[in-house]
């Protein structure tokens, strides 16, 4: 690496640490501002197969295995107890890992930071102070901040990266707007011992449609992460504190209460406001945003941590595969970042589209229609071939391997329109507020 720090990342979460590590692998000196303040629990404890590829590139998969739970797939249980299981078969993923991991977030986030440090990334334990920029920069570190970090040698980095998550620090300084999604729920979650894991199959995550809202159950080593996502209007009668509300909802839901009968909570209850947001702009002269600082989607299907790390990977691939010299070519760098955010917007659209099929009940209705088809035609060759092909495409969409696939998305949309019979998704399967 050369001696001068050229890139400064504001925020030491998964997106920032991943990008810093990838830049270090290219010999680009990077500094990360990280105040090291994190809650005990964070949403995003379940990963997708595509993340495993990036772990391997960073050289951390063997270390992740030491504290993670193997994840073979995900199961969905509707209010009528019908179940959809999606595993990650090698054939469907075409060379991608056919598994993922469920991870305790503090350990995983700390490992990403440790790996970045091992690769030569500099970390400073402080918040970055920002202001509108000068000298061709749209945003910059304040003079006071610059002077307080001796590692910078008084020289402003050529590029600032916003990895501040939902705080969206750069967007706030620059008054960059955002588009919000239609849902505005609230989630309560904690870790439990003695919560029956019979519904899990060798580490499989289970998503359950409740009488109101939905829940996740994520198996972790020695414990289970349990969360409920509900409309705020449905909280009446469930107490006034996060602890009371989570416990009350578990006890009141027929598909959760039997499994949680002997549970013991071993962490505080965390509150997460579940809304969806995408910034109007993700880069400008002298800066770029990553992960949640640009946009975030609903936690169902576990896309959040994948999108954080993948956004860093896209920045690295599109811009820095051309070498560090691109930092001295503003027009070329802007063009590369344009490509990044065209892809990211398509990712957000694809995830939102698939997640909506679960919220409005159409995915469950399609499964019900498939069961009726099997009952009618048995093992007839053509219906079975259709069912297997559609299941393969859905698995590829849900795994992050081919979520943006035009063919897969088109086939699913066509199937939802023409193969759902004798059932009204909204009445039977939709997630209610």
The reported pLDDT for the residue numbered 375 is 63
Please, what is the end-to-end C-alpha distance for the chain in angstroms? 53
pLDDT at 378: 59
Structure tokens at 410: 């088109």
Q: Can you tell me the distance from the alpha carbon of 203 to that of 173, in angstroms, rounded to the nearest whole number?
A: 43
In the numeric block, which tokens belong to residue 71?
């994840």
pLDDT at res. 203: 86
Angstrom distance (rounded) from CA 415 to CA 394? 11
User: Rg of the Cα trace of the chain?
Assistant: 23
Q: Please name every residue paired with 257 in a beta bridge, in sequence order, or none if there are none.
A: none
Residues 5 and 28 sit within 8 Å (Cβ to Cβ): no
At residue 167, the pLDDT reads 95
d(CA 75, CA 127): 40
Instruction: Enumerate the β-bridge partners of residue 270.
Output: 189
Q: How far apart are CA 321 and CA 334, in angstroms?
A: 14
CB 74 within 8 A of CB 86: yes
What distances in angstroms separate CA 341 from CA 91, 158, 178, 283, one per listed residue?
30, 20, 14, 9
pLDDT at res. 224:
96
How confident is the chain (433 residues) per 10-residue block, as mean pLDDT? 85 97 97 90 92 96 97 92 86 81 96 98 96 95 96 96 97 97 93 87 90 95 96 93 97 94 96 94 98 95 95 98 95 98 97 95 85 61 72 90 94 88 75 82
Contacts of 215 by beta carbon, 8 Å cutoff, 6+ apart: 207, 208, 226, 227, 228, 229, 253, 256
CB neighbours (10 Å) of residue 190? 23
CA distance to 27, 51, 234, 258, 317, per residue, from 12 (Å) = 19, 18, 35, 40, 20
The whole-number pLDDT of residue 80 equals 87
Token pair of 403 as six digits: 């979520």
Would you tell me the crossing angle of helices 14-25 and 304-318 to the nearest 10 degrees? 30
Confidence (pLDDT) at 417: 87
397 neighbors 358 (Cβ within 8 angstroms): no
The pLDDT value recorded for residue 349 is 97
- pTM for the predicted model, two decimal places: 0.94
Given this model, what pLDDT does residue 119 score? 97
pLDDT at 95: 75
CB 350 within 8 A of CB 297: no
Nearest of 351, 348, 272, 276 to residue 311 by alpha carbon: 348
3-state DSSP of the chain = CCCCCCEEEECCCHHHHHHHHHHHHCCCCEEEECCCCCCCCCCCCECCHHHHHHHHHHCCHHHHHCCCEEECEEEEECCCCCEEEEECCHHHHCCCCCCEEECCHHHHHHHHHHHHHHCCCEEECCCCCEEECCCCCCEEECHHHHHHCHHHCCCCCCEEEECCHHHCHHHHHHCCCEEEEEEEEEEEEEEEECCCCCCCCCCCEEEEECCCCEEEEEEECCEEEEEEEEEHHHHCCCCCCHHHHHHHHHHHCCCCCCCCCCCEECCCCEEEEEEEEEECCCEECCEEECHHHCEECCCCCCCHHHHHHHHHHHHHHHCHHHCHHHHHCHHHHHHHHHHHHHHHHHHHHHHHHHHHHHHCCHHHHHHHHHHHHHHHHCCCHHHHHHHHHHHHHHHHHHCCCCCCCHHHHHHHHHHHHHCCCCCCHHHHCCCCC
Place of tokens 């169902």: 300
């Amino acid at each position: 690496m050369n001696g001068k720090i050229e890139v400064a990342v504001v925020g030491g979460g998964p997106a920032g640490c991943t990008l810093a590590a990838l830049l270090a692998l290219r010999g680009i000196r990077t500094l990360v501002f990280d105040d090291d303040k994190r809650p005990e629990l964070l949403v995003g404890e379940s990963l997708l197969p595509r993340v495993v590829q990036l772990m391997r590139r960073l050289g951390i998969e063997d270390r992740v295995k030491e504290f993670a739970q193997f994840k073979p797939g995900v199961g969905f249980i509707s209010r009528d107890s019908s179940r959809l299981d999606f595993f990650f078969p090698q054939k469907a993923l075409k060379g991608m890992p056919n598994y993922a991991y469920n991870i305790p977030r503090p350990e995983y986030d700390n490992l990403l930071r440790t790996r970045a440090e091992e690769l030569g990334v500099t970390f400073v334990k402080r918040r970055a102070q920002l202001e509108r920029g000068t000298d061709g920069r749209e945003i910059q570190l304040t003079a006071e901040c610059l002077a307080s970090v001796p590692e910078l040698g008084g020289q402003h980095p050529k590029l600032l990266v916003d990895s501040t998550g939902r705080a969206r620090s750069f967007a706030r300084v620059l008054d960059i707007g955002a588009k919000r999604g239609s849902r505005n729920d609230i989630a309560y979650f904690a870790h439990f011992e003695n919560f029956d894991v019979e519904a899990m199959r060798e580490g499989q995550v289970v998503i359950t449609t409740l009488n109101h809202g939905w829940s996740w159950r994520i198996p972790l080593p020695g414990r289970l992460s349990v969360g409920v996502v509900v409309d705020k209007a449905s909280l009446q009668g469930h107490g006034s504190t996060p602890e009371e509300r989570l416990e009350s909802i578990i006890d009141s839901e027929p598909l959760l209460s039997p499994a949680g009968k002997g549970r013991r909570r071993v962490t505080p209850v965390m509150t997460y406001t579940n809304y969806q947001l995408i910034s109007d702009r993700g880069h400008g002269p002298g800066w770029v945003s990553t992960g949640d600082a640009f946009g975030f989607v609903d936690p169902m299907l576990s896309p959040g941590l994948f999108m954080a790390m993948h956004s860093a990977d896209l920045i690295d691939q599109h811009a820095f595969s051309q070498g560090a010299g691109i930092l001295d070519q503003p027009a070329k760098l802007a063009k590369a970042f344009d490509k990044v955010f065209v892809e990211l917007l398509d990712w957000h659209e694809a995830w939102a589209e698939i997640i909506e099929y679960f919220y409005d009940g159409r995915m469950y209705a399609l499964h019900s229609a498939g069961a009726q088809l099997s009952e009618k035609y048995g093992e007839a060759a053509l219906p079975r071939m259709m069912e297997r092909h559609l299941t393969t495409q859905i698995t590829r969409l849900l795994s992050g391997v081919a979520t943006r696939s035009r063919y897969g998305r088109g086939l699913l949309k066509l199937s939802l329109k023409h193969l759902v019979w004798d059932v009204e998704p909204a009445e039977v399967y939709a997630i209610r507020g």
